[in-house]
């Protein structure tokens, strides 16, 4: 099953101009099936949009401003780190955010967000019906009302901005959305980017490795240099593992090997045996200590199972979300524009 998942991911991630480079079986069997499934999905999405447009499907509005965080390509583009970044800005501004996520598979993104945002005013709602999830949280904790002009005045005043949390009532909702578009739509978007640049702020972001922690102790902090000149096995079950492997490779290990599982795959005991076998072979081959490195999502999916990798160091790579300076705009500009946008939604 994992081999099939990897084959599907490979076909789906291959640009149209390079499809001929795929193995024959993938081109002759998987490609037609995926193309047919893609056509059905495209038709269903178009139909759904028309039903909403003509009022045949009900629309639900949340009583607070909504920030939708989506991505325009295949998964693994830093959507969840962006959600956390925005949530922290809201928390620092005294606006308790509600993060709504569907919680696919084992809900690893939700678990990671809960660990990172523990102790803050941020709340996380998990469920496919995000309207119902939001309603239940609003009922328990309340929400900031738009007509509360005193609140918007506090937001506008930088001296009072951090104290306007109204006893923890939800002030903004952040959708961990996962929006994806077709290749055709991507081409249209690319063709219009110059027009977008002229009237909207465009920010460029990256995930930069910051440190490691041990699977056995999540409170430990190890510098990136701990893998210098060591053999590393990258183990991941994420949407786009190439970025993870490349990031580890840039740190400077002696060699980087990889073991990829399907996105959101839950590591089982037989997978642990496979990982230990690969680590053992690398140790024998290079006659040196080998370290396994996983992502935070893989850790939060099941931290206990990873402790079964005995006799080898298992580290978790942590990364910091950064907005790169570009065209005179950076993180300060992003924070200011986000604050202004939220204030405008409150009627300030």
How confident is the model at residue 158, as a pLDDT? 45
45 confidence band (pLDDT: 50, 70, 90): confident
Band (pLDDT 50/70/90 cuts) for residue 195 is low
**233: which residues sit within 8 A by CB, 6+ positions away?**
256, 257, 258, 259, 275, 278, 279, 282, 290, 291, 292, 293
Average pLDDT, the chain: 84
Q: What integer is the mean pLDDT of 251-266?
A: 91
Taking residues 75-88, report their average pLDDT: 85
The answer to whether 39 and 33 have CB atoms below 8 angstroms apart is no
DSSP one-letter string for 226-281:
GGTTSEEEEEE-SS-HHHHHHHHHHH--SEEEEEE--TTPPP-HHHHHHHHHHHHH
Position 254 pLDDT exceeds 80:
yes
pLDDT for position 214: 97
- Strand 313-324 and strand 217-222: pairing? unpaired
pLDDT surpasses 50 at 163: no
pLDDT reported for residue 327: 78
Q: What is the pLDDT of residue 227?
A: 96
Look up residue 296 and give its two tokens.
């935070």
Query: In this model, does residue 97 exceed pLDDT 60?
Result: yes
Per-residue pLDDT at 73 exceeds 70: no
Q: What is the mean pLDDT of residues 44-49?
A: 87
Domain boundaries, the chain: 2-58, 66-182+327-345, 207-322
Average pLDDT over residues 282-306: 94
d(CA 61, CA 39): 30
- Please, which pLDDT band fits residue 114 given cuts at 50, 70 and 90? very high
Query: Per-residue pLDDT for 75 more than 70?
Result: no
| Mean pLDDT comparison of 174-178, 251-255, 328-332, highest-scoring range | 251-255
pLDDT at 47 (0 to 100): 92
As a whole number, mean pLDDT of residues 226-255 equals 93
φ, ψ of residue 93 to 5 degrees: the values are -85, 0
Q: What is the pLDDT of residue 49?
A: 84
Q: pTM for this structure?
A: 0.80
Sorting pLDDT into bands at 50, 70 and 90, what band is 295?
very high
**pLDDT greater than 80 at residue 220:** yes
Query: Angle between the 2-13 and 31-53 helix axes, to the nearest 10 degrees?
Result: 70
Lowest-pLDDT range of 81-90, 144-153, 316-325: 144-153
**How far is residue 299's CA from residue 63's CA, in Å, rounded to a whole number?**
35
Residue 150 has pLDDT above 70, yes or no: no
Report pLDDT digits (tens) over 316-331: 999 999 999 887 888 9
Q: Is the pLDDT of residue 217 over 50?
A: yes
Confidence tier at 164 by pLDDT (50, 70, 90): very low
In CATH terms, is domain 207-322 a member of 2.60.40? no
In percent, the amount of the chain with pLDDT more than 90 equals 41
List pLDDT tens digits, range 12-35: 777 778 888 888 888 888 888 888
- Kindly state the average pLDDT of the residues 117-127: 92
């Amino acid at each position: 099953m994992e081999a099939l998942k990897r084959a599907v991911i490979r076909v789906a991630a291959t640009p149209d101009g390079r499809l001929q480079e795929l193995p024959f079986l993938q081109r002759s069997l998987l490609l037609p099936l995926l193309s047919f499934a893609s056509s059905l999905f495209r038709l269903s999405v178009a139909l759904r949009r028309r039903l909403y447009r003509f009022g045949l499907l009900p629309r639900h509005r949340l009583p607070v401003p909504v920030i939708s965080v989506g991505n325009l390509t295949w998964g693994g583009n830093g959507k969840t780190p962006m959600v956390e970044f925005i949530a922290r800005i809201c928390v620092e501004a005294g606006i308790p955010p509600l993060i709504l996520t569907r919680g696919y598979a084992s809900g690893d993104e939700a678990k990671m967000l809960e660990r990172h945002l523990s102790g803050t005013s941020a709340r996380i709602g998990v469920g496919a019906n995000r309207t119902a999830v939001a309603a239940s949280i609003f009922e328990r904790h309340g929400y900031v009302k738009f007509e509360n002009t005193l609140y918007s005045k506090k937001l506008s005043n930088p001296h009072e901005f951090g104290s306007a949390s109204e006893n923890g009532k939800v002030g903004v909702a952040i959708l961990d959305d996962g929006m994806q578009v077709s290749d055709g739509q991507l081409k249209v978007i690319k063709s219009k980017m110059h027009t977008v640049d002229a009237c909207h702020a465009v920010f460029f972001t990256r995930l930069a490795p910051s440190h490691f922690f041990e699977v056995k102790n999540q409170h430990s902090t190890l510098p990136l240099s701990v893998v210098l000149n060591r053999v590393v096995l990258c183990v991941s079950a994420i949407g786009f593992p190439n970025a993870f492997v490349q990031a580890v490779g840039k740190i400077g290990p002696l060699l980087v090997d990889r073991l990829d599982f399907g996105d959101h795959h839950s590591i089982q005991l037989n997978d642990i045996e496979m990982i230990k076998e690969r680590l053992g072979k690398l140790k024998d081959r290079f006659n040196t200590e080998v370290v396994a490195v996983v992502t935070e999502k893989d850790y939060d999916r099941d931290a206990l199972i990873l402790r079964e990798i005995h006799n080898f160091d298992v580290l978790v790579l942590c990364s910091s979300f950064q907005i790169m300076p570009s065209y005179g705009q950076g993180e300060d500009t992003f924070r200011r524009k986000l604050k202004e946008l939220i204030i405008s939604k409150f009627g300030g």
